[in-house]
Amino acid sequence: MLRASFRQLLLLAFVLMSVLLGAVSLSGLQALQGLLAKSREAGQQSIQLNLSTRGLAERSTDMERAARQYLVLGDDALRQRFDDAANQAQALLLPLGQYPPTQVLTQQWLAGAVRVRSQLADQRLDLAAREQAVATEFRALENILRSLTQQVQQSISQRNQEVQDALETQRNRQVQQVLVAIVAAAVAALAFGLWLTRPLRRLGLAIVALGEGRLAEPVNIRGPADLSSLGRQLDWLRLRLTELDEDKARFLRHTSHELKTPLAAVSEAVSLLQEGVGGTLGAEQAEIVGILQHNTSVLQQQIEDLLRYNAAAFDARRLQRRPTPLRSLVEQVVQAQRLSWQARSLSVAVEGDVALVQPVDPERLGAALGNLLSNAIRFSPSGGRIRWWVGTLGDKAVLQISDNGPGVPAADREHIFDPFYRGSLQPQGQARGSGIGLSIVREQVSAHGGQVRLAADAAGACFQILLPLENSHA
């Protein structure tokens, strides 16, 4: 089954969010277009109704004038002018008759106009009675026209209010849809981000583990196809580094052992010469033999240090963890080196959490603590003070040792944990160190999943061992 790559999934996420926001926008646009069409239709109808009522008022005036003149003068031209005005008024009433709110009033006005026409044609009544009847009808038509005008204005206002309410409702609905779409897009982006960045975070942790030498941890990256492929390549690199590391350790062991045998023979021969077994040596010969003996001893010590460092790096990968009170472990290390620090009139204090218990290998971690303590004893001035502190810092268990010695020069800080690196500042009157003590500390601490660091702002030297904290106390 083919899996999508990181790029494809990222593109899919952008497309889905774009579709979501686009759908909301199109929905709002369609609703707005519908409201605009209704608003346009209502506006056109309002204009037509207003024109109809205004024209009807003018035709009503013409009809009344022509009817009154006809009753007085009896001229057929005036009667024709009345009929023309009445026909025009009837044409103007068509939109009002088709508009439901004004249908009844329209019928009433038409009925009144018919009565006026019949009264104009009725010759049975005298002139005064006819004028009175026609005037009464025109007053009724005027009232109907006034009601028509009011009804039209009221209906127009109501229609406008309905359109306004519809616009407001649609605006609120659109705002809600946009907010929902934004929240959904944000949630989707967060979900995609977490889902897609989790493999990247695992890749970062895997690279850090490789950089710190934790080669026993398999690299297994689940996620997009390209990131999974990169994880498999990193795991292949881990296996390859493991093989190279084993080859290096094997080479160091074999080489060191191969060198020890001839070096022991050379050392024995030099000792025989110095003892005069081959004959009495002259002053210059004795000096040369002394130089040979010194350099042979130095070379032998370096080979022993190399074997010791290699053994420490190998043993660090074979931890036997068990719950261990950290402060008690520090006190045991201090007691084991009691003669060394008492010989230099030093005081050593152990402070901190008595109940802090962590799953560690007490022998391996104890060896790291012993190297730190030996280093502090070596660099502390006579009568100085060494302080241990055991506690927690965030999610880390802390083992800290500080002294009031000269500290570590800035130039040495970057390389102080490198194998066989010896700092520029060495204690007077003591042999130069081998440069592997702090390297062994780093190997042992890294094997426990922790780190050792030098506090930059401390007086003297202050080293901190940080271990992953598991919430367990004695």
Looking at the chain, which residues constitute the CATH 3.30.565.10 domain(s)? 322-468
What does the H/E/C string look like for the chain?
A: CCCCCHHHHHHHHHHHHHHHHHHHHHHHHHHHHHHHHHHHHHHHHHHHHHHHHHHHHHHHHHHHHHHHHHHHHCCHHHHHHHHHHHHHHHHHHHHHHHCHHHHHHHHHHHHHHHHHHHHHHCCCCCHHHHHHHHHHHHHHHHHHHHHHHHHHHHHHHHHHHHHHHHHHHHHHHHHHHHHHHHHHHHHHHHHHHHHHHHHHHHHHHHHHHHHCCCCCCCCCCCCCHHHHHHHHHHHHHHHHHHHHHHHHHHHHHHHHHHHHHHHHHHHHHHHHHHCCCCCCCCHHHHHHHHHHHHHHHHHHHHHHHHHHHHHHHHHCCCCCCEEEEHHHHHHHHHHHCHHHHHHCCCEEEEEECCCEEEEECHHHHHHHHHHHHHHHHHHCCCCCEEEEEEEEECCEEEEEEEECCCCCCHHHCCCCCCCCCCCCCCCCCCCCCCCCHHHHHHHHHHHCCCEEEECCCCCCCEEEEEEECCCCEC
Q: Which CATH class is domain 226-315?
A: mainly alpha
pLDDT given for residue 1 in this prediction? 44
pLDDT, residue 264, reads 73
CATH tag for 322-468 (out of 3.30.565.10, 3.40.630.40, 3.50.50.60, 3.20.20.120): 3.30.565.10
> In which residue ranges of the chain is CATH 1.10.287 found?
226-315
CATH class of domain segment(s) 6-187? mainly alpha
Residue-level pLDDT, tens digit, the chain, 474 residues: 446 665 666 677 677 777 777 777 777 777 777 777 777 877 787 888 888 888 888 888 888 888 888 888 888 888 898 888 888 888 888 888 888 888 888 898 888 888 888 888 777 767 788 888 888 888 988 898 888 888 888 888 887 787 788 878 877 887 787 788 788 877 877 777 777 778 778 888 888 777 766 677 788 888 777 777 788 888 888 888 778 777 776 776 666 666 667 777 777 777 777 777 666 777 777 777 777 777 777 677 667 666 666 666 655 566 788 999 999 999 999 999 998 899 889 999 999 988 899 999 998 899 889 989 988 898 888 899 999 999 998 889 999 999 988 888 877 777 787 776 666 666 665 555 566 778 888 888 888 888 888 886 667 889 999 999 876 555
